[in-house]
Amino acid sequence: MQKSLSSTVEIAPVQSSRYVGRVPGIFSRRTTSPLLLLLRVNLLHNWRRLLAVRNQSRLLTSIISTFVVGYLVLSFWLFYYALKFIAKFPGLGAALTDRLLYTLFAFLFALLLLSNLVISYTNLFRNRETAFLLTLPVTTQTIFRWKFIESVMLASWAFLFLIAPLLGAFGLVRGVPWHFYPVTMALIGLFIVLPGVIGTWLAIVVGRLLDRRNFQIAIVVTAVALLMIVTFVWKTQAVDEQVLDQRTMQALDQLLARTNFTLFPFLPSYWLSSAVMQWAEGIFRGAEFFALVLLSNTLFFSSLAFTRFGNIFYDTASAVQSRAGSSFKLNYLRTTRISQRPVVGRLERLAAKLLWFDHATLALVIKDLRMFWRDTTQWGQSVMLFGLLGVYIINLRNFTHQLSSPFWINLVAYLNLGACALNLATVTTRFVFPQFSLEGRRLWIVGMSPMGLERVVKTKYWMSSVVSLVATLGLITLSCWLLKMGWSDIVFFGAVVSVMTFALNALAVGLGVLYPNMKEANPSKIVSGFGGTLCLVLSFLYILASVLLLAFGTAGLHGQVSWAAESVILFVLLSCLIGWVPLRLGLRQLKNFEA
């Protein structure tokens, strides 16, 4: 990326890129604008990477392509039959479908906002390309525009990937005309810009004020307040059975009483949902009104970001880069200094009490913990991920009131197992897979140490396994307890999650060694490469196969003990295969690094 830009753009000595305007001799009228140049270079770079991945291994490429196509087909099939089933209810089907779309787009808007916040902070202030571009004779407004476009694209592709089969199934059930689909795509394109602008602005605010104690206290207080609101206010209410039997709008209002906030007319998700549904129903005047509202807000806020955020970005980037160490202080994760003489930090003194570990292993663990804490985006994403899972678990107790059939009890139990396992797969892919690559060009220093690379990788594996096991085992135990399961079921699901934890961590560590990216310091871009995608696909397939195997064998609906024993044995063998083989191949690959 740096070589491509430096070879295309002639660099002239300037004092600061913030005050560079029209510099004679650098960009003539016939040359391409800097923003278009950045877009073209990055598109070519990504296209060549895609071709290189295809030439590297056609088998793995075909596996990922099959997974993508299979997901689209399976999700479309599920959405189509679910919407078709809801539409069969007379008087309630259409209203319930509309409310579900309002709720879905509202929550997706919130998730897009969080995703843009995290990715924008990384791209603007923790990115090597941004630091390189700031040294070029390019205005900071142009740099910000390019990073804004890149952040929105990175944060929104998963949203588009998720929403495409749903809207296709919705259009097929409603019998919409052909022009519904291009109009919906245009509306979604306008919609994703708004959370991008808000998320980028929040990232700039966080980067500017994160080192201030009052701001830190405000963040903690806000997080606690939101958790209390979710816990004590946003709860489902019991509905009278007589009202349910009538199947009226009154029953629908009582069932979905806590989703009324999605009908707030000033939410961008409300504009998008209203435009989509009214266009599907043939009410083109109303759909055009909401489309114009969405368009006007998108144009206003995007023009505001494109013209006014450049200087603010430069000032914030200067403030972030001028800070020493972590901007969010935690005494146990930093080394104190008294009278200019270094002393042993509190974390080292705490680790010294673990006498059964050698000093080299403890030093590596402490180093990884400090590196994780110093990266704001790393622990910020982990807190957001487990926070969303915590909201899910808190609301699990609402499912136990209407569950009386053994079929539905077992279904909810194994769906809960799948949700916890998918969260574990997300953690291992996002945080464990890039650990080896993050050593970067300093890997030869670690390789020359007495520990050796093999011991370093094994230490990273056991550390990540223990940390993720503590979190996942606590989540599965709490969720099973909220579902009012017996202790035998809690022990069984806890054992299953423990086996999955060691298997998924071994898969992530092994593939991280087999497909490293030593040139990239951004964990998000390391994960988005070929190895990270393969790790996510294999983790998903493993979880799907394990949950289905255990559900059919141990649910207790068939009454045969042999089925349960065989399913457990097959699950253990599958876990050993998915974990041991990649880890073993990765350890063997280390010999090439040490050679």
Q: Which residue has the higher pLDDT, 413 or 495?
A: 495
Q: Which residue has the tokens 């079929």?
A: 407
Report pTM. Answer: 0.72
What would the pLDDT profile of 63-116 be if each residue is shown by its tens digit?
Answer: 778 878 888 898 899 899 988 888 887 767 777 888 888 988 998 898 899 888
Q: What SS3 state is found at 438?
A: helix
The arithmetic mean of pLDDT across residues 117-129, rounded, is: 85
Name the E strands within 214-342: 337-338, 341-342
**pLDDT (0 to 100) of residue 98:** 85
Name the E strands within 363-412: none
Q: What SS3 state is found at 125?
A: helix
- Give the whole-angstrom CA distance, residue 366 versus residue 349: 11
Which is nearest to 291 in space by CA: 308, 306, 304, 273?
Answer: 273
CB 119 within 8 A of CB 155: yes
- Signed CA dihedral, 572, 59, 465, 493: sign only: negative
CB 463 within 8 A of CB 577: no
CB under 8 Å, gap of 24 or more: what pairs does 455-463 form?
455/360, 455/361, 456/364, 457/509, 457/513, 457/586, 457/587, 457/590, 458/587, 459/361, 459/364, 459/365, 460/364, 460/368, 460/432, 460/435, 460/436, 460/509, 461/505, 461/506, 461/509, 461/583, 463/365, 463/368
What would the pLDDT profile of 336-350 be if each residue is shown by its tens digit?
Answer: 444 444 445 666 666
* Exposed e or buried b per residue across 197-215, where buried means at least 16 C-beta atoms within 10 angstroms of its C-beta: bbbbbbbbebbbbbeeeee
What would the pLDDT profile of 426-478 be if each residue is shown by its tens digit?
Answer: 888 888 888 888 776 666 676 666 677 788 888 888 888 888 888 888 888 88
Give 4's pLDDT tier (boundaries 50, 70, 90): very low
CB 84 within 8 A of CB 116: no
Helical H runs in 134-261?
A: 140-174, 180-191, 193-209, 213-232, 241-246, 249-255
- Both structure tokens of 125: 């202030």
The amino acid present at 448, given as its one-letter code, is: M
- Both structure tokens of 403: 């569950």
The amino acid present at 130, given as its one-letter code, is: T
DSSP string, 349-365: HHHHT-TTS-HHHHHHH
Which is nearest to 38 in space by CA: 6, 15, 11?
Answer: 6
